[in-house]
Amino acid sequence: MNDDYLINLLPSEYLPKPEFKGFPVFFIILIAAVALYCFQDYTRLQRTLEDVQGQKQSLDALIQKNNKDAVAFLDIQARSRMMYAYGISVWSTLHQNPPWIDVYNSIEESIPPDMWIESLKLIGGSERKWPSFSMVGMVAGNKPETVLDFYNKMMDPTSKFERVKISGYTFIKIKGQDAITFNMTFSLRKIAFLGI
């Protein structure tokens, strides 16, 4: 017998609450909505992943192309760095140091006859400070006055040199001939070589 034909005579406060008969339909709709949301999210993530993979492939191709170019230009870059360093050293040699040929010629012009330079060395110096010189000279014969004349010439106020010091001289024999060796240190007068 069908429950729809039964008459319930209970007062309304005791009547049972009617059952919600649409629950299965609601549950199916809820499951479908969740499934649709998950599917849309999955497809969105798949599109994003494909976009990222496409960008990665294009970036990989660009990196490969640039890498080939970079390897081809490494030699040029190394040469340009070397040329730049060479240019800087030439510039500093020309502008921060004395003109070495002029310095040597001035020393040579100061040397009297029968005297010659055994060695000439730079002492100290930096980019901002000009170096001093250490010279070993030799005089033919037994003439210490030649060494003293050269010393006086270097000490002269009109000389291109300053802080001249001589550490004495020594009498020696070279192949049976008398000679004198001496050590001298001196600095350059900047105004003499810079034209100031």
The pTM score is 0.45
Q: Which of 123, 126, 149, 155 is nearest to 137 (CA)?
A: 149
pLDDT above 70 covers what percent of the chain?
A: 84
18 band by pLDDT with thresholds 50, 70 and 90: low
Helix residue ranges per DSSP H, the chain: 23-95, 100-110, 144-155, 190-194
At residue 41, the pLDDT reads 92
> Across residues 177-184, what is the average pLDDT?
85
At residue 196, the pLDDT reads 41
CB 104 within 8 A of CB 117: no
User: Could you read off the pLDDT of 81-101 as tens digits, one per residue?
Assistant: 888 888 877 776 666 566 677
Q: Which of 182, 103, 167 is nearest to 137 (CA)?
A: 182
Residue 172 clears pLDDT 90, i.e. is over it: no
User: Could you read off the pLDDT of 107-152 as tens digits, one per residue?
Assistant: 888 888 888 888 888 777 655 567 788 888 888 888 778 888 888 8
Question: Angle formed by the axes of helices 144-155 and 100-110, to 10°?
Answer: 130
Q: Which residues of 124-133 are buried (b: 16+ CB within 10 A; e: fewer)?
A: eeeeeebbbb
Query: Looking at domain 100-194, which CATH architecture does it have?
Result: 2-Layer Sandwich (3.30)
CB 166 within 8 A of CB 150: no
At residue 142, the pLDDT reads 80
The domain locations on the chain are: 21-95, 100-194
